[in-house]
A and B are shown apart, each in its own frame.
Chain A
């Protein structure tokens, strides 16, 4: 896989939940060695799109191509096997299991006689890469803080050395150092020639790492931008109008300042 090769290609992907159309005619390309940011307002369909790619939801229409071959992502197992790893917005961890078990869930070393020592060593190495502050990997997930859990979920997505990693608001609960580490990590993964899809509401983070910014609005594509695009333009695309609550607020602040 060379840098710049098309890994993932979506055309006309739609997803219907009963009467709700969560996604309609979505187009998305992800290349090797590229960070694609997926932005949009609450309920725009970002998480739904990620879940379709993770095999959690089946699309109602559309085609997905993986390295040029049409594929059907009919279960999370299929997606993981292809090399699509996901950090879900709700993390999807098992609270009753400890950190090591969660990291290796579904991919344990030595299925007939679990190799706990090797798994624990690998767990510590992964967590150190993320500058994680986790006191013990033998405590159940239930006793970890929100940010620690997020770090565990991110570490888990790296375990299988995926071709594409999708992060759904990975830094929402993270501290300053941990957020910086995740951004570093995203760049490292990209430099290794893998693709990254990043969902975030933090435009600074998005601009810092994204090569392309894909905007979703009400379940539809609403333009593709780069990190040179102005803030106003992005906000306009996200909210769907040049005249929007963000621009009105800015104008009001400016008026107040000049008055």
Chain B
């Protein structure tokens, strides 16, 4: 059974089987044409942004500016990661900004004012997030309350609680010498560790790729071929090494961003490789079909809302450590919209059933690059808001057009 046409999945003569690197490229082009854009909008967006901003102000691409950009991106990125979960179900959470603000206030009050150990204070804030998420899920399940409305009222209620906690002083400063503030402002990975982190994904990719390939061959299934695997891993490693090298010309890779990336990897695994993740996509694609397959749609909803609010709370802690304070302004303004925009720009659909954890990371880099670039140009926040709003609108248009194109090409 060594002949390729004898393989189980190669029996149908109508299918063009893309072999090797050329085949992989051809399949990729086909996918993009039919509206399955993947990471393409992000890459195009990043190139445009870099060219525009670096011509306007060369500091934009300086290593240390990019290091700062990554420091700033981690908090919104974590919040956006939670947004991906609810968007996958076709739901929305508009209270993530308020939740992150409330959580930073909680940490400030518990840790600085009351003297609870910092780790417990953070745990408390995240648990509070989880409870809020469970309430949204409960309202959605029991009363069919649209998440749009439930979380909109949550936005106001949580903001009120945040203001109440902070009381008359209005803001709490976190101690500068504490580990939490260092984590948000100066903690950088050692060079060797950052290079290791750049090489590891490629190595793991080859290792697991070869293993899967052997298993598929033993089970008489086709596989993409070694050349494709090595090319992908090589490109990935080269790209990551270059990024790390460039950042190390400045201060280096922030721990904060590293931790955020670990969360992304964990959620990516959960979404793609576990039964829970499969159920998330199923509920987002066709909730009734998922229910009839024996999936508990209600539990999946609860888990998604709880995860979203918990991640928003943790994002709030990150933001507080970045700013070294818990203030009334935390989580207000454009935080909500930036987090949602990041997920959509990264390729997670607003219509449910499509997306990935990586969209939070890629999208937040785009959003943060825009905001960083505009700040370098000394533009006021009024203009920044307008431009970010426009970017979100463009992202949603791209999402809708891609969806229409997929429908026309007979792909969900």
Is the CB–CB distance between A117 and B216 below 8 Å? Answer: yes
Answer yes or no: A54 CB below 8 A from chain B CBs: yes
Bound CA span A114–B273, Å: 5
* A94: nearest chain-B partner, CB-CB: B285
Answer yes or no: B284 CB below 8 A from chain A CBs: yes
A residues within 8 A CB of B285? 94-97
Is the CB–CB distance between A142 and B411 below 8 Å? Answer: yes
A residues within 8 A CB of B15? 135-136
Contact pattern, A 25-43, Cβ under 8 Å of B = 1, otherwise 0: 0000000000000000000
Within 8 A of A (CB), among B270-324: 273-276, 278-279, 281-282, 284-286, 288-296
Contact pattern, B 238-279, Cβ under 8 Å of A = 1, otherwise 0: 000000000000000000000000000000000001111011
Q: Which of B219, B281, B409 sits near A97, CB closer than 8 Å?
A: B281
Known: A133-B12, A142-B412. A86 touches B212 (CB 8 A): no
- Of the candidate stretches A105-113, A201-209, A211-219, the one touching chain B is A105-113
Answer yes or no: A76 CB below 8 A from chain B CBs: yes
A residues within 8 A CB of B292? 54, 56, 76, 86, 88, 92
Answer yes or no: A141 CB below 8 A from chain B CBs: yes
Is the CB–CB distance between A105 and B412 below 8 Å? Answer: no
* A93: nearest chain-B partner, CB-CB: B289
Is the CB–CB distance between B8 and A140 below 8 Å? Answer: no
Number of interface residues of B (CB under 8 A): 39
Known: A106-B295, A142-B410. A111 touches B290 (CB 8 A): no
Is the CB–CB distance between A96 and B12 below 8 Å? Answer: no
Is the CB–CB distance between B281 and A121 below 8 Å? Answer: no
Is the CB–CB distance between A92 and B288 below 8 Å? Answer: yes
Number of interface residues of A (CB under 8 A): 40
Is the CB–CB distance between B221 and A140 below 8 Å? Answer: no
Q: Is the interface of A mostly helix, strand, loop or mixed?
A: loop
Answer yes or no: A120 CB below 8 A from chain B CBs: yes
CB of B223, distance to nearest CB on chain A (Å): 10
Answer yes or no: B9 CB below 8 A from chain A CBs: yes
Bound CA span A124–B221, Å: 10
Answer yes or no: A77 CB below 8 A from chain B CBs: yes
Answer yes or no: B226 CB below 8 A from chain A CBs: no
Bound CA span A88–B289, Å: 10
Answer yes or no: A254 CB below 8 A from chain B CBs: no
Answer yes or no: A6 CB below 8 A from chain B CBs: no
Within 8 A of A (CB), among B15-57: 15
CB of A88, distance to nearest CB on chain B (Å): 7
Contact pattern, A 70-93, Cβ under 8 Å of B = 1, otherwise 0: 000001110011000010100011
Q: Which of B12, B285, B292, B406 has the most CB of A within 10 A?
A: B292
Is the CB–CB distance between B275 and A120 below 8 Å? Answer: no
A residues within 8 A CB of B412? 94-97, 140-142
Q: List 26 A-B contacts (CB under 8 A).
A: A56-B291, A56-B292, A81-B294, A92-B286, A92-B293, A94-B281, A94-B282, A94-B412, A96-B285, A96-B353, A97-B412, A101-B282, A105-B278, A105-B295, A106-B294, A117-B212, A118-B219, A120-B221, A121-B8, A124-B9, A133-B12, A134-B12, A136-B9, A136-B12, A143-B409, A143-B410
